[in-house]
């Protein structure tokens, strides 16, 4: 993207982090918003999107980093002095005021410079409150924008959720802010209402020309409304781009899985512009190093069904679901599952062929290839890492060594070493971790925080509570998000290296 001129960036976030009680809600994020843009923060709950919005509004102050508005530093400016207004998730209307007074709240507090001319023909400016007539006109105009003419005298409690949301929008836009912040404003509405409001909000954005910063966890909403989407996870930005580029070229498996439906498969680059997955070589348009392990993303609508013998892949249909506009057909290709969206139907048990255009094969660098931890050896010759304690084979640290009866390590040269508290680097492969319901069975315990389906297996991330250590692993069984599990690793699969030689 071309470097923009300074005036075009209405807001700029520079290396901002926010830490609540030692946990980082937002970690070192940087981006900018162009004037007049509709930008959306998208991510699962707890990804830091609302915190980011609250920092722009001024309700939370960043722990570090800077927020610039039109080039000026507003990091520590209180919310009442920012030219920014917010539409809250649960509206936050003032129940003790009627609709008119709710909308007029900001206007009544506002002071604007008015220029006068005195007797000596000198001009001077005075900060003045708006007149009642001006306020009246503005409130009426705002009510017209949200289609609630004639609601002035109604009390908040007599309004439906959708109407309250409109009042909340009117209350914000009546102040003519430079930026309108919307924190999941449609989250509390039913599906049909939400769709209508999406269109209306988009229309409002076009008419008013204000910059909209929108927060949602609904990927469809983000794709429909935004000019730019910022995908967030765990307080970090995963990808920034237009809806099209985010959908077609997801930066990693998380984004691909979160935005739309997708088939995510393990692949290997076998040659320039050639990737191998499902035991077949495919031409592709992305260039990666030969033999690199990659994630391959194919959107369900990009798979074309053909005659069984003509397609690049052959599979057996295992389920067909009618979705209104299309059928969702699941086929097994070897051990991998492929989801296909098509207007044509097939029967369960049919053998079908599948074609994928090189342009529709999207290749991503693998996010995780191995788990790495800092650990240390205990008195009992076990190893502690990742908030857990595991049995291990300490003799692997010194080739040709063995343990004596007291548990001391005897090296190949016959030297006796006490390994207690020795620091080691631990590596565990993605295939070498198992999980169990039984909390006592494994060495560490945590909750499943993420799972991504990858054709023939799931990739899980289990996070421990104490230090939020992550275990990433691939297993074929299905578990649920938030399940509390214990981590099992076989001693031979724990690969350790000494941090430094012991004398």
Look up residue 99 and give its two tokens: 């609709």
What number of residues does the chain have? 503
Q: How far is the CB of 88 from another protein (least distance, A)?
A: 5
How many C-beta neighbours within 10 Å does residue 126 have? Answer: 10
Nearest residue (CB) to another protein, 78 versus 334: 78
Nearest residue (CB) to another protein, 53 versus 339: 53
- In angstroms, the CA 355 to CA 379 distance is 58
Q: How far is the CB of 79 from another protein (least distance, A)?
A: 4
The residue with tokens 């070897």 is 334
Q: How far is the CB of 141 from another protein (least distance, A)?
A: 17
Measured at the alpha carbon of residue 321, what is the angle toward residues 320 and 326, in degrees to the nearest 5? Answer: 105
**What is the contact surface with another protein in residues (CB under 8 A)?**
21, 57-59, 78-80, 84-86, 88-96, 105-106, 109-110, 157, 171-172, 175
Q: Strand, helix or coil at 282?
A: strand
Helical spans, DSSP H, in 434-491: none
Nearest residue (CB) to another protein, 54 versus 454: 54
Nearest residue (CB) to another protein, 172 versus 428: 172
- In angstroms, the CA 338 to CA 27 distance is 35
Most distant CA atoms of the chain, gap in Å: 106
Q: How far is the CB of 316 from another protein (least distance, A)?
A: 53
Bridge-based pairing of strands 388-391 and 382-385 is: antiparallel
- In angstroms, the CA 432 to CA 472 distance is 10
Q: How far is the CB of 287 from another protein (least distance, A)?
A: 48
- In angstroms, the CA 448 to CA 445 distance is 10
Contact 432, 463 (CB under 8 A): no
- In angstroms, the CA 32 to CA 104 distance is 31
Q: How far is the CB of 179 from another protein (least distance, A)?
A: 12
Among residues 438, 436, 441, the alpha carbon closest in space to that of 462 is found at: 436
Contact 455, 264 (CB under 8 A): yes
Q: How far is the CB of 46 from another protein (least distance, A)?
A: 17
Nearest residue (CB) to another protein, 56 versus 489: 56
Q: How far is the CB of 91 from another protein (least distance, A)?
A: 8
Nearest residue (CB) to another protein, 138 versus 445: 138
Q: How far is the CB of 124 from another protein (least distance, A)?
A: 24
Nearest residue (CB) to another protein, 212 versus 460: 212
How many C-beta neighbours within 10 Å does residue 320 have? Answer: 17
Q: How far is the CB of 188 from another protein (least distance, A)?
A: 12
Nearest residue (CB) to another protein, 141 versus 478: 141
Q: How far is the CB of 92 from another protein (least distance, A)?
A: 4
Bridge-based pairing of strands 402-403 and 303-306 is: unpaired
Could you tell me how far CA 356 lies from the centroid of its own chain? 28
The residue with tokens 């209307």 is 93
Nearest residue (CB) to another protein, 93 versus 231: 93
Helical spans, DSSP H, in 364-424: none
Nearest residue (CB) to another protein, 143 versus 451: 143
Reported in sequence order, the residue ranges of 96-159 that DSSP labels E, i.e. its strands, are 111-117, 123-129
- In angstroms, the CA 458 to CA 476 distance is 6
Nearest residue (CB) to another protein, 170 versus 435: 170
Could you tell me how far CA 273 lies from the centroid of its own chain? 29
- In angstroms, the CA 219 to CA 256 distance is 11
Q: How far is the CB of 272 from another protein (least distance, A)?
A: 54
Nearest residue (CB) to another protein, 60 versus 257: 60
Could you tell me how far CA 311 lies from the centroid of its own chain? 35
- In angstroms, the CA 92 to CA 80 distance is 16
- In angstroms, the CA 215 to CA 208 distance is 19
């Amino acid at each position: 993207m071309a470097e923009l001129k300074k005036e075009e960036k209405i807001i700029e976030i520079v290396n901002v982090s926010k830490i609540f009680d030692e946990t980082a809600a937002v970690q070192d994020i940087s981006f900018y918003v162009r004037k007049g843009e509709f930008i959306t923060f998208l991510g699962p709950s707890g990804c830091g999107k609302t915190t980011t919005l609250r920092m722009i509004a001024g309700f939370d102050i960043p722990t570090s980093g800077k927020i610039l508005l039109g080039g000026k530093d507003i990091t520590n400016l209180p919310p009442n002095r920012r030219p920014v207004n917010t539409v809250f998730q649960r509206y936050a209307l003032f129940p003790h005021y009627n609709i008119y007074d709710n909308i007029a709240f900001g206007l009544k507090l506002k002071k604007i410079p008015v220029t006068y001319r005195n007797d000596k023909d000198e001009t001077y400016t005075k900060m003045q409150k708006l007149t009642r007539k001006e306020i009246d006109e503005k409130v009426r105009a705002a009510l017209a924008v949200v289609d609630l003419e004639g609601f002035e005298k109604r009390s908040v409690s007599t309004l439906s959720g959708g109407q309250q949301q409109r009042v909340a929008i009117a209350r914000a836009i009546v102040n003519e802010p430079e930026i309108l912040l919307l924190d999941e404003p449609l989250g509390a509405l039913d599906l049909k209402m939400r769709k209508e409001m999406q269109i209306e909000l988009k229309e409002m954005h076009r008419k008013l020309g204000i910059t909209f910063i929108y927060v949602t966890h609904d990927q469809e909403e983000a794709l429909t409304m935004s000019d730019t989407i910022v995908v967030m996870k765990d307080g970090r930005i995963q990808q920034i781009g237009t809806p099209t580029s985010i959908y077609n070229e997801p930066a990693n498996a998380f984004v691909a899985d979160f935005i739309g439906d997708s088939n995510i498969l393990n692949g290997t680059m076998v040659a320039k512009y050639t990737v191998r997955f499902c035991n077949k070589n495919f031409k592709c348009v992305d260039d990666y190093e030969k033999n690199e392990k990659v994630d391959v993303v194919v959107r369900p609508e990009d798979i074309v069904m053909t005659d069984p013998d003509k397609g690049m892949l052959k599979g057996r249909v295992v389920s067909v679901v009618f979705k209104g506009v299309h059928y969702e057909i699941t086929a097994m290709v070897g051990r991998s599952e492929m989801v296909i969206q098509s207007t044509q139907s097939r029967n369960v048990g049919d053998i079908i062929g599948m074609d994928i255009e090189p342009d529709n094969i999207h290749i991503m660098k693998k996010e995780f290839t191995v788990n790495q931890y800092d650990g240390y050896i205990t008195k009992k010759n076990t190893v502690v890492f990742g908030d857990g304690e595991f049995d291990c084979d300490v003799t692997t640290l010194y080739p040709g060594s063995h343990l004596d009866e007291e548990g001391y390590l005897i090296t190949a040269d016959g030297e006796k070493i006490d390994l207690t508290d020795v620091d080691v680097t631990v590596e565990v492969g993605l295939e070498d971790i198992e999980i169990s319901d039984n909390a006592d069975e494994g060495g560490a315990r945590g909750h499943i925080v993420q799972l991504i389906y990858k054709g023939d297996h799931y990739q899980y991330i289990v996070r421990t509570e104490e230090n939020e250590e992550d275990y990433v692993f691939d297993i074929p069984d299905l578990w649920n998000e938030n399940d509390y599990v214990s981590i099992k690793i076989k001693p031979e699969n724990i690969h350790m290296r000494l941090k430094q030689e012991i004398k």
